Each structure stands twice: as C-alpha cells, then as structure tokens.
Amino acid sequence: MAKKATKKRVKRREWTKADIKDLKAHSKARTPVVKIAKLTRRTVGALRQKALHLGIGLGHQR
C-alpha cells in the first residue's frame, strides 16, 4: 500500500519593521515583484497584499 502524499504546511511569518522598510525601498526603486519575492522569501501575493495595506505601489509597471 502506497503512502498518501501530505501537503507541506506553510508557516506564517510576521512582518518586521525591517521587512516593511525593505518593501518601501523596493517600491521606490521599482524592483520587479518576482525579484522582491525571491529576496524576501515571501509569495508575490503576500507582497502585493502588504503593499496594498501600506498604500504603496509595487512592481516596475504601475
């Protein structure tokens, strides 16, 4: 009998003040969202949601 594949659970990480500062800096520099996601190890959706909550634009095309 084969074992059932279990889904890896994603653990939430809180946003630190340093994370928010970096996000704002990337916003000002118009860094592509995919690149920010790789650097911060967060999903594109998480970055976009946080930027929306902070009221800042994100990505090189706005």
Confidence (pLDDT) at 62: 63
Confidence (pLDDT) at 49: 95
Environment class of 9 (CB within 10 Å of its CB; exposed 0-12, middle 13-18, buried 19+): exposed
Confidence (pLDDT) at 22: 97
| Whether the predicted model's global pTM rises above the 0.85 cut | no
Mean pLDDT per 10-residue interval, the chain, length 62 residues: 76 94 95 95 95 90 66
Confidence (pLDDT) at 26: 95
Confidence (pLDDT) at 54: 95
Confidence (pLDDT) at 23: 96
